[in-house]
A = this chain, B = another copy of it.
């Protein structure tokens, strides 16, 4: 197995520019590290590995600096490292770096670059930051940086199953499990921890939110010793371990006959379970719960609501400082397609809004970015901003379930940015989603980001080499939502492919264009779905149209789209605060890209773009294919500038994407030509 894709953005290729080598080497005489903390040891090892690779030298670790040779000191402000104290003096504590932030300062006088932090985790993040600066070509001669993460919870969700499969995984099998056991060799888990920590993440739920039979026993002695082994690996990278739990665990394990959250035995069961867990994993993060959703058990079985359900677990975890992360993805998945009044989009808000204020302080509601399910385009969930008295966090999906499954390139950071920058008007204009999820808007006690991972045991982790950028970008954005999608793309590209400017500009351009291109040849104007049932790959316009999943487009011979207005539709638009409710609810003001999510319109309806809906469909689908073909050509121009393995691997996927985009184009165009009877104005081939 080649290591090129495996090392991802931590390749740290040897610097080749002589002046650059000299500039960095000046500060790399030694590494000064004095603290015994496990995480600082990790930081030191990372710094050593990174610098040695880039410079081709050996970096000695010392406890103090020989005057004259430039050194890098790492440590906590109060940890007794004299070099740290010398550079930051008393100011360290005043820098307000918080539990995870760091300061980096180049002190010309002492010849030291110091990475200081209040806690070891900050030191680790500071080391990764410095390495990133060096690898991307920044000057380190005059550093004076203070960084702290904007979000306190920066989490990844693994949808891995104990049988080794990964639900919605498109990059191989699980790196955690195989054959109904936890792998004995966890080397790869450690390497994953490095990737996560280096992008700024600090929490992981290691099993699928759909907790099946065997995984129900993760919280029992059958699996706990191995889970603790995994927790130990992540702990070294300052990452807290969470578990997804089965709400019916007391029943499924055969110990009780109910899982009613108000039942005394059930409460006692979970309390005992929490005690047992924390004995084995003292810094255990808590539970991630999918309840009463898509056939999973939950409090509804007992006539209780989700506040009852989650608070019971939260009480059990409270003495240990644990959290309950409770997913809001609750809807009727057995809808009758004939019933046009029930609207899946309404479900999360309808379920959770009335419960605001009833959740304990250590419960967090995890809300998917949109009201449906990670489509290429949906509006932002109206729950963001609607729960002032309830901790909330964001859920994204890095795994491209509906966005090309790592066969198509779809760089998702621009989409996530749009979500985060959405104005909820919760406290007047300028009440952005990012301020809801970072906790600042309502003073949440806990909040942040979660996202479904896109990695598996493929050699390069993510299948498509370029979709590593989504994992990296997610971490960076969770750390700081103000970073631009382009800046993250460029950073990732330089770390991954080095400094060839032609490569950088091409790859950044491919990444930045990809979401829009993918959208253009798939479901139009925010209507979503149109994918093959179950596996969700490839076009099937009516794939879900007559099914129970509540995901319809209602296309007939005259028009299409879902009327979600208050006036004549399902009323979903009314779940937003004004002016959003009116903007979405009014045909004239609804943005084109969400038109069919909110309105049922004739094919001849004229968009703000000046095109009719039907012509927009034809045009975007023809253009999307041309753009997908252009992506392939652009990539192919990089031949010789990128390692042959990655070049070939990504090239094959771009070729597949270009071909598959044609299938999308032809099926959607044909479907709508047949249905509408309206010809393409440009008379292109539609079958």
- A residues lining the B interface (CB < 8 Å): 337-338, 340, 539-542, 546, 554-558, 666-667, 670-671, 673-677, 687
Contact = CB atoms under 8 A, between A and B. Distances in A.
B540 A546 contact: yes
Contacts of A556: 673-675, 677
7 contacts: A338-B670, A539-B546, A542-B542, A546-B670, A556-B673, A557-B676, A557-B677
A206 B245 CA distance: 47
Contacts of A675: 556-557, 674-675
A687 B336 CA distance: 11
A687 B542 contact: no
A338 B542 contact: no
A667 B546 contact: yes
Contacts of A554: 674
Given A542-B542, A546-B540, A546-B670, A687 B557 contact: no
A280 to B, nearest CB: 39
B338 A666 contact: yes
A670 B547 CA distance: 13
A687 B337 CA distance: 9
Copies held by the complex: 2
A670 B667 CA distance: 20
Nearest to A337: B687
Contacts of A558: 677
Contacts of A666: 338
Nearest to A556: B674
Nearest to A339: B687
Nearest to A678: B557
Nearest to A340: B687
| 10 A-B pairs closest in CB distance | A556-B674, A557-B677, A338-B687, A557-B557, A542-B542, A546-B667, A557-B675, A675-B675, A338-B666, A557-B676
A667 B542 CA distance: 11
Contacts of A687: 337-338, 340
A539 B545 CA distance: 12
Nearest to A542: B542
A46 B677 CA distance: 66
Nearest to A532: B533
Contacts of A674: 554-557, 675
Nearest to A663: B546
A677 B671 CA distance: 15
Contacts of A337: 687
Given A541-B542, A557-B677, 15 more contacts: A337-B687, A338-B670, A340-B687, A540-B542, A540-B546, A542-B671, A546-B667, A546-B670, A546-B671, A555-B674, A556-B673, A556-B677, A557-B676, A558-B677, A674-B675
Contacts of A677: 556-558
A687 B554 CA distance: 10
Q: Of A337, A546, A671, A676, which is in contact with the most chain B CB atoms at under 10 Å from its CB?
A: A546
A662 to B, nearest CB: 10
Contacts of A555: 674
A555 B557 CA distance: 12
Contacts of A541: 542
A678 to B, nearest CB: 9
A601 to B, nearest CB: 15
A337 B539 CA distance: 13
A338 B338 CA distance: 31
Nearest to A560: B674
A337 B546 CA distance: 22
A221 to B, nearest CB: 33
Contacts of A676: 557
A440 to B, nearest CB: 47
- Residue of A557, A676, A677 with most partner-chain B CB within 10 A: A557
A556 B558 CA distance: 12
Contacts of A540: 542, 546
A546 B555 CA distance: 17
A541 B556 CA distance: 14
A458 B282 CA distance: 53
